[in-house]
Amino acid sequence: MKRIVQIVMFALVLCGLTVSFAQEGTKKDNEGFEPVNGDMLQPGESIPASRLVGAAYGFICCAVIVWVASVARRARRLEDEVDDLKKKLQAR
Amino acid sequence: MKLRPYFLVVATLAALGLLVAPQLIISAPREASMGFVYKIFFYHVPSATMTFLGAFVCAWGSVTYLFKGSEKGDQLAVSAAELTVLFGLLTLVTGPLWARKAWGVWWQWDVRLTTTLLLWFIFIAYLFARKYGGPGSRKLAAGLALFGAADVPLIYFSVSIWRTIHPKATVITGIAKSRNGMGTPLLVAFITFTCLFLALLELRLSLERARARVDELHLEAEDAGLVS
């Protein structure tokens, strides 16, 4: 459980870094491509596009990490079961 | 867990791709009508493609299990079904993030979106059937997987058959062929997601192999009268 909490915390940090990285990338883009006023907000819009792109990448990383952690947890449980059964069979 | 040798290769490629792809995507030129937000496309399309691949692999495994009784086919099917749910979730989350900016709403009951959601629910039902269905649930789930795979062509051609606000499939080929710097990030994203899919599939398959070993040991222990 402690390990899962650590993994989730790591994933959240990664997500935050990705969002900030994506926002930084936007500035670089502005230098090379078409200029955009403000933070690419259309009139009446409240969410900058870079934040949505960063959130998408962050979500992908988080979901994959959580899924891998779940597989690892299930594998550990099975390995314990295998060891337990092997011990019982050897002791016979 | 015993992993096959190719796991290390595809896992390394996927990890490298996940590091390199964002930089390529950020440096790709901005699309004229959608601006920066179209860059979600580079994650969204490969995620959707891997969802379809997962559904087909699951259907293939289910067919070999249903008609040949292949245990390995069943292991492949359940592993691929879990990946279909995972990549389906990525598609269904990244899509609305794009839609919010491009269409002004998070969700539309558009044909492509609705059939994709349906596909995701079918594979959730597959996993639920296997977990809680009791005896005979593996065959029931295998049947469900075939229905799920049948939904994939419907999703793919929905944009050509019906009027929909979702971009058509030709957008992908257009970007792939373009010489304005959009093709390379798309190619790298596709390679990354394919490697990620293969690595996760092998990881999940190793779990199924371990489960089969536990079942064998349980039978041995039962024969020996150690467990009831």
Q: Which domains are delineated in chain B?
A: 6-223 (1.20.120)
Of A18, A57, A89, the CB nearest to B226: A89
DSSP assignment, residue B31?
Answer: B
Structure tokens at B124: 């959730």
Question: Given this model, what pLDDT does residue A11 score?
Answer: 62
Q: pLDDT of B18-37, one tens digit each?
A: 999 888 888 887 777 777 77
Q: Are B77 and B61 in contact (CB under 8 A)?
A: yes
Of residues B37, B31, B79, B36, the one with CA closest to residue B55: B79
Q: Which residues of A touch B214 (CB under 8 A)?
A: 78, 81-82, 85
Please report the pLDDT score of residue B113 as a whole number.
94
How much is the mean pLDDT over chain A? Answer: 71
Provide CB contacts within 8 A for B49, sequence distance 6+. Answer: B190, B193
CA–CA separation, B116 and B153 (whole Å): 11
Contacts of B210 in chain A (CB under 8 A): 75, 78-79, 82
In this predicted structure, the answer to whether residue A9 has a pLDDT above a threshold of 70 is no
pLDDT in tens, B185-204: 888 999 999 999 999 999 99
C-beta atoms of B207 and A75 within 8 A? yes
Per cent of chain A over pLDDT 70 is: 49
For residue range A30-65, what is the model confidence (pLDDT) as tens digits?
Answer: 444 444 444 455 555 566 778 888 888 899 999 999
pLDDT of amino acid A38: 44
pLDDT at A13: 67
ipTM: 0.88
DSSP annotation of B169: T
Q: What are the backbone dihedrals phi and psi of residue B45, each rounded to the nearest 5 degrees, phi first?
A: -65, -50
Residue A5, pLDDT above cutoff 70? no
Q: Could B200 and A67 be called an inter-chain contact, meaning their C-beta atoms sit closer than 8 Å?
A: yes
A-chain CB neighbours of B197 within 8 Å are none
How many Å apart are CA B44 and CA B40, to the nearest integer?
6
Q: Is the pLDDT confidence value at B162 over 70? A: yes
Q: Is the pLDDT of residue B205 over 60?
A: yes
Q: Contact at 8 Å (CB) between B82 and A70?
A: no
Q: Do A19 and A51 form a contact (C-beta atoms < 8 A)?
A: yes
Task: Name the band, by pLDDT with cuts 50, 70 and 90, for residue B92.
Answer: very high
Residue with tokens 């690595």: B199
User: Mean pLDDT over residues A19-27, rounded?
Assistant: 48
d(CA A55, CA A53): 5
Cβ atoms of residues B77 and B62 within 8 Å: yes
- CB neighbour list of residue B154: distance below 8 Å, 6 or more residues apart: B115
CA-CA-CA-CA dihedral for B44, B45, B49, B54, to nearest 10: 0
Indicate the range of B68-72, B110-114, B163-167, B172-176 predicted with least confidence.
B172-176
| Residue B86 C-alpha, separation from nearest chain A C-alpha, in angstroms | 8
Q: CA B150 to CA B227: how far, in whole Å?
A: 43
Segment B165-172 shows an average pLDDT of 76
Output the CA torsion B83→B86→B90→B91 (10° steps). Answer: 60
Residues of B with CB under 8 A from a CB of A: 1, 18, 22-23, 25-27, 29-30, 35-37, 39-40, 43-44, 47, 82, 86, 89-90, 93-94, 97-98, 100-101, 196, 200, 203-204, 206-207, 210-211, 213-214, 217-218, 220-221, 224, 226-227
Please state, in angstroms and rounded to a whole number, the distance separating the CA atoms of residues B164 and B125: 27
Query: For the segment B7-18, what is each residue's pLDDT rounded down to a tens digit?
Result: 999 999 999 999
Q: Which amino acid is at A43?
A: P
Burial class (CB in 10 A: 0-12, 13-18, 19+), B77: buried
pLDDT digit string, tens, across residues B100-150: 888 888 998 999 999 999 999 999 999 999 999 888 899 999 999 999 999
Q: Do the chains contact at A52 and B97, CB–CB below 8 Å?
A: yes
